[in-house]
Amino acid sequence: MEFNYSEEQLALQDTLQRFISRDYDFDKRRKFSVSSLGYSAEAWSQFADLGLLALPLPEDYGGLGGNAVDIMLVMEQFGQGLLLEPYLSTVVICGGLISDAASEPMKQQLLPQIAAGKVKIGLAGYEAAGRYDLSYVACTAQESGASRRLSGRKTVVLDGPSADCFLVSARSSGGIGDRDGISLFLVPRDAKGLTIAAYPTQSGARAADLLLENVIVGSEALIGAPSRALPIIERAVDLGVAALCAEAVGIINALNQATLNYLKTRKQFGVAIGTFQALKHKMADMLIAAEQSRSMAIIAAVHADSHDAAERHRAASAAKAYIGQAGRLVGQHAVQMHGGMGVVDELIVSHYFKRLTMIDLSFGDADYHLASFSDTLRPAS
């Protein structure tokens, strides 16, 4: 049993921390967020140089062969620094999906590009009426000879505006909610018939809705077996969920630190407000929530690489549900204890709070994952 990061991992963590304090403080982050791109292109290329983008990708394709625990370490720092770059979409989720299931030529073509920071990819897996259900795919993929014609809508594609291409789930057969019949296609952003509606997100990043009208893709665009793509999408999303949990843990600890400092410095009635027992005990609850959340993030990360899909998904759901609740408690307490200073745009506290909230709402909120964890308790009948 080992609960500490390895030497190399600690070195990487240290590098990231120095990078954030030097090149990504809160003011810079604010500028990146409102820039046309919505994040820092410079940071992205530095990530490439640091090997962050290659980290979890397989060695045969220019990757470093890292695992979900390496991603956990990186995402925790993304949380601490509220980093805006499309690491989760491009590297963790789409990178994972391609490494996992793409054809040899596609791996050859894309993975080294991702590692080099030259290609960014977004997952277009959700539709408005499906809420968080990846099997709800109304978007159609009609065969026409060797190629497929894709038509439909995809909603809230994270980091979509800057993506060079998308991984789009579309239905080759079966009914809208069926697990079978879903195929996954690589669609370039300039594909004919694809329209992108871009917008900022509540946590300062960018996302987009996609409209596909008879978008033609060839068979080489197919990822995984036709009609059998759902399991590989779910695996990539579980990996993304584990990464989001790590990001949340980074934010939770940052919020606790900020709140603790505020309690020690803010004076009311002539004393530091940290001397009031009601606030002390709330702060203790926040510390407990942080420790328990870290444990859950570890569970999710360690199981994310498992090939037992049920066990992997169960761990991801438990962690996402638990951290969704813990993040809510910490975020709301942190804002409350900051009083007026907690609800203004000026301090980073409210930005941490908003990001934690949006993490909960991404890839299934606490209730959604509670339900899917809870369903695993049903006696097999």
Interface residue list for a copy of itself (CB under 8 A): 276-278, 280-281
Distance CA 220, CA 148 (A): 10
Among 10, 11, 309, 371, binds another protein (CB under 8 A): 371
Q: Which residue has the tokens 């998904």?
A: 313
Residue list 3-62, contact with another protein (CB under 8 A): 3-5
Query: Which one, of 230, 225, 288, 226, lies nearest residue 256 by Cα?
Result: 288
Residue list 223-262, contact with another protein (CB under 8 A): 260
> Measured from the CB of residue 277, what is the shortest distance to a copy of itself in angstroms?
4
Among 36, 105, 379, 380, binds another protein (CB under 8 A): 379
The total number of residues written for the chain in this structure = 381
Distance CA 175, CA 136 (A): 9
> Measured from the CB of residue 279, what is the shortest distance to a copy of itself in angstroms?
8
293: helix, strand or coil:
helix
Among 37, 116, 176, 216, binds another protein (CB under 8 A): 176
Query: Which one, of 133, 151, 131, lies nearest residue 141 by Cα?
Result: 151
Distance CA 329, CA 325 (A): 6
- CB of 225 or CB of 344, closer to another protein: 344
> Measured from the CB of residue 219, what is the shortest distance to another protein in angstroms?
28
Piece of the chain touching another protein by CB under 8 A; list 74-82, 89-97, 164-172, 194-202:
194-202
> Do the beta carbons of residue 326 and residue 286 sit within 8 Å?
no
Residue list 322-351, contact with another protein (CB under 8 A): 322, 332, 335-336, 339-340, 342-346, 350-351
What residue 93 binds from another protein, a copy of itself, none (CB within 5 to 8 A, per partner kind)?
Answer: none
- CB of 118 or CB of 267, closer to another protein: 267
Q: Which residue has the tokens 């630190």?
A: 257
What residue 144 binds from a copy of itself, another protein, none (CB within 5 to 8 A, per partner kind)?
Answer: none
Amino acid at 242: A
Kindly tell me the burial class for residue 270, based on how many C-beta atoms sit within 10 Å of its own C-beta (0-12, 13-18, 19 or more).
exposed
Q: Which residues touch 43 (CB under 8 Å, ≥6 apart)?
A: 19, 23, 24, 32, 83, 85
> Measured from the CB of residue 197, what is the shortest distance to a copy of itself in angstroms?
31
Residue list 102-161, contact with another protein (CB under 8 A): 126, 128-133, 136, 153, 155-156, 158
Piece of the chain touching another protein by CB under 8 A; list 15-23, 43-51, 219-227, 358-366:
358-366
187 is a contact residue toward another protein (CB under 8 A): no
Which tokens go with 350?
A: 């409210």
Among 276, 305, 306, 329, binds another protein (CB under 8 A): 276
> Do the beta carbons of residue 221 and residue 233 sit within 8 Å?
no
Among 230, 299, 330, 356, binds another protein (CB under 8 A): 299
Within 10 Å of residue 223's Cβ, how many Cβ atoms? Answer: 23
Among 91, 212, 233, 283, binds another protein (CB under 8 A): 283
- CB of 107 or CB of 338, closer to another protein: 338
For helices 230-265 and 309-337, what crossing angle results, to 10°?
20
> Measured from the CB of residue 124, what is the shortest distance to another protein in angstroms?
12
Amino acid at 296: M
What residue 171 binds from a copy of itself, another protein, none (CB within 5 to 8 A, per partner kind)?
Answer: none
